[in-house]
Structures are given as structure tokens and as C-alpha cells.
Amino acid sequence: PLVDSGFSPSKLKNVESGFEIVSGPAQDILQNYTHLAKTIADRDWCISFRWGGDLNECACVLAASAGLVKLCGAVAFYPEDDLIYDLHRLQDDAKGCLDATG
């Protein structure tokens, strides 16, 4: 994901979906979110996901974030609510999005 950018197609529950992805130096994030310095620590990269109003897209972003948290020790931050997600919340919220779509 460090070199990926643009739309990333995904499929959940046999439904085509996806999200926008962009990556860059983690230090760039600290310009706007200085309070994350301790949390980001020595991490080099920030991978940002964007999704529209579709809950399938939201579930894709949450699932991708959960994978990065679990496999890479990533930090999942939602700036809109100034929220740092843990793995369980990412998984629960992804399931909630999928349940809401039927």
C-alpha cells in the first residue's frame, strides 16, 4: 500500500466496492495533528483511506485498516472524531457497516 494510490477496488460479501487510498510520510500528518506525535512514534508512513457515503465502502476501509493494525502494528486514526481505533473496534464497526447494508 505504500506505492498504491487512487481507487482501490474491493469486494465484501460478493458486493463490488472500494475506496481511495494515498500514502505519504507520517511526519506530514503531524503538521495538522501534533497531538499524535507519541502515538505515531517512529513510524515512517501514513496510509490514508477515503470513502463516500456508502457503508460498503466504509466496511472496506475499516477492514483494510484492521488488517494493517493487526499485521503491521499500524495506528488507525479517524480525524473527523479525533479517534484512535483499536483492532476490536475496527472489526466491530466493519461488521456494523456490513450488517446495516443487509
Distances (CA, A) of 29 to 45, 48, 98: 9, 10, 29
Tell me the percentage of the chain whose pLDDT exceeds 70. Answer: 95
Q: What are the pLDDT digits (tens) for 68-97?
A: 999 999 999 999 999 999 999 999 999 999
* Per-residue pLDDT tens over the stretch 14-26: 889 999 988 889 8
pTM: 0.87
List Cα–Cα distances, 31 to 25, 37, 54, in angstroms: 11, 10, 30
Residue 61, CB-side half-sphere exposure with 13 Å CA sphere: 22
Range 62-67, long-range pairs (CB < 8 A, 24+ positions): 62/90, 62/91, 62/93, 62/94, 62/97, 63/10, 63/12, 63/90, 63/94, 64/8, 64/10, 64/19, 65/90, 66/90, 66/91, 66/94
Could you give the CA distance from residue 90 to residue 76 in angstroms, rounded to a whole number? 8
> Which pLDDT does position 1 carry in this prediction?
52
pLDDT at 63 over 60: yes
